Amino acid sequence: MLLQFVLLLYFAAVLDVSGLAKIEDPQQFAAIMRRHRLLPAWSIGMVARVFPWAEVLLASMLLTGDDAIHRLAAQVAQDRIEGDAVAVDVRNDPNLQN
Q: What's the pLDDT tens digit per position in 19-32?
A: 999 999 999 999 98
Calculate mean pLDDT across residues 53-59.
Answer: 89
In this structure, the chain runs to a length of 98
d(CA 70, CA 18): 19
> Does residue 81 or residue 48 have the better pLDDT?
48
Question: Residue 11's pLDDT is what?
Answer: 83
Domain ranges of the chain: 2-92
pLDDT at residue number 88: 47
Spatial CA neighbour of 16 closest among 52, 48, 46, 50: 52
**Which residues have C-beta within 8 Å of that of residue 22, sequence separation ≥ 6?**
29, 48, 51, 52, 55
For residue 85, give the amino acid letter. A
Q: What is the pLDDT of residue 10?
A: 86
pLDDT score, position 67: 73
pLDDT averaged over every residue in the chain: 78
pLDDT tens for 59-93 read 888 887 677 777 776 777 677 666 554 454 445 55
